[in-house]
Chains A and B, each alone.
Chain A
Amino acid sequence: MRPGGSILGHVLRHAVLLAGLVIMLMPFVWMISTSLKPPNEIFSTKLSLLPTNWAAVENYTKAFTKVPLLRYLLNGVIVTGGIFFLQLVVALPAAYALAKLRFKGRDILFTMVLVGLMIPAQAPAIPRYVMLYEIGLLDSYAALILPFVFSAFGIFLMRQFFKTVPDDLMHAARLDGLGEFEILWRIMLPLAMPAMLAFGVISIVTHWNDFFWPLIVIQTGDLATPPLGTLFFRNEEAGSDFGPLMAGTVVITAPLVLLFLAAQRRFIEGVTLSGMKG
């Protein structure tokens, strides 16, 4: 689309966009604003963005002491990091083989990856739960990480990327006496960094925000991921001590929001890709 139109058009365009923005960002603004206010100002019907008496220190201190917020964030890092690392370990070799090597059954395997892309994450939940129950792994980091080690999307994305790498590069490496594992590790891996980053964004956003699975397998507060921890906090507060509660939600939402603001372009590209995937 090309930019254009009259001055009035421009003014109207920005007026509409800014008005929409106020509504879209209102929850974030009000969340931060409330996290700074003392109870009497929160329960007042007089609207003001900034508090008259600041209660930021009290609210945030209470948020961090009432529930182990830092522990939730750490769990989020362990779980999303663990999932992403293992997804790469499984996906990279398979993607390389599917893209560059000739072997019987390759087409069937790739079809399986495409089928895997279609299955929503909640569909295998019950049998996965039963499996973890049978081997006694419920309520553990393993229960949060292991079910997601296979990522059809990761294999698909990395395979599409490896397809674009010229074959000559591998032929030359083979002539130098490198095996397939070395080619993957020493030549393909460094080249694949941008594709891995795009996949990383999707994987991390998906699993950091996932609520359905942690809700099912985690009972212990100490193992809660950030979304589950938020729920524990809300239930603990019985939803009435809004200052500390909003301070807690600020802390929980901050990591992804900051990461997004720092790497917008990659985020939007990555999430667009996964939207394409559905």
Chain B
Amino acid sequence: MTDANPADNPGERRAAYALVSPAWVAFVVLLAGPSLAVVVLSLTDWQLGAPTMNFIGLGNYEQLFTDRVFWKSFTNTFVYCLVVVPGSVFLGLGLALLIEGATFGRAFYRAAYFLPVTSTLIAMAVVWEFLLHPSVGLINIVLEQVGITGGDWLKNPSRALFTLAGIGIWQSAGLNMVLFMAGLKAIPPDLYEAAEIDGASSVWERFRCVTWPMLGPATLFVTVVSGIRSFQVFDTVEVLTKGGPNKATEVLLYTMYTEAFNFFRTGYGAAITVVFLVVVLALTLLQVKAGEKRTHYG
């Protein structure tokens, strides 16, 4: 896309400026301005409502690096991602392969597995809280019947984060599934015929020789998208654990939320936001790269 000669048609140009101006104003006031302001605020000691604001340079960041809660929160967020991403990507891939290969019921399965993606996560978190209830929850009752004592899923510090990750996988597998389905549809059917002629007779052989290599770029893309989404985990933490027990489920956005909006340590909260933003932007650039690769193949 190149800029056309602006002298071309003054009427068209005037109309264009009038048409884009609301979006431009909204962009500056609501997105660009606040996003830059967050960086500036992170360099101050400001607390909401305080009369004074001092620039303290990288003071907030220095404090972050020595803050045990922040490090706990940072590593927890990564651990959460390291469970949810592989879990939901492999589940999504498996479901996409199983469903696309079926001769009937495809639309039914697709809709049913997709249901958790569109349902209101907060409401479902309240349902999960009930399902995971140590004594009257369905999960422990079922486990009891096969002789396993389920214990407490959300108040056990060594288990709580993984419980939340399980809910994360449940919620996002369907999204990865439909993204993989889009990738599968892009594979030309004659490739399978060609592979068969070349002796790839079993389902596994066809998967190994055709589906997997052709799906490679899509897999990279789905993995990164999944990473970005799970890095933003917040809802289930706020409803189910509030970062506890003993900071076991403290995650980045939750720490940011409590610092900025419960304790009103605005500058410090802004510094956490900047760390969050940097990681998400890095993942997004990876996604753009993966997207380029994908369009190259697809």
Contact = CB atoms under 8 A, between A and B. Distances in A.
Interface of A: 1-5, 9-10, 13-14, 16-17, 20-21, 24-28, 30-31, 34, 42-43, 45, 47, 89-91, 93-94, 96-98, 101-107, 109-110, 112-113, 116, 118-120, 122-131, 133, 146-150, 152, 155, 179-181, 184, 205, 208-209, 211-212, 215-216, 226-228, 230-231, 234, 239, 242, 245-246, 249, 252-253, 256-257, 260-261, 264, 267-268, 271-272, 275-276, 278
A125 B234 CA distance: 14
Given A27-B128, A101-B19, A102-B16, A120 B280 contact: yes
Given A126-B273, A275-B178, 4 more contacts: A94-B19, A97-B19, A103-B6, A126-B41
7 contacts: A102-B9, A107-B3, A123-B277, A133-B48, A150-B26, A252-B123, A268-B178
Contacts of B38: 123-124, 126-127
Contacts of A116: 27, 31-32
A211 B126 contact: no
A227 B284 contact: no
Contact of B120 (A26, A131, A212, A226): A226
Contact of A122 (B123, B225, B273): B273
Interface residues of B, number: 107
Contacts, number: 313
Interface string B15-57: 1111110111011001111110110010000001000000000
A267 B116 CA distance: 13
B112 to A, nearest CB: 5
A20 B102 CA distance: 15
Given A30-B131, A102-B9, A150 B112 contact: no
Contact of A24 (B100, B112, B276): B112
A4 B12 CA distance: 57
A246 B130 contact: yes
Contacts of B173: 24
A268 B182 CA distance: 11
A260 B117 CA distance: 10
B4 interface: yes
A68 to B, nearest CB: 16
Contacts of A30: 127, 130-131, 138
A47 B109 CA distance: 26
Nearest to B124: A27
A261 B118 CA distance: 10
A28 B115 contact: yes
A149 B30 contact: yes
Interface centre among B15, B266, B276 (most CB of A within 10 A): B15
B52 to A, nearest CB: 15
Contacts of A128: 30, 34
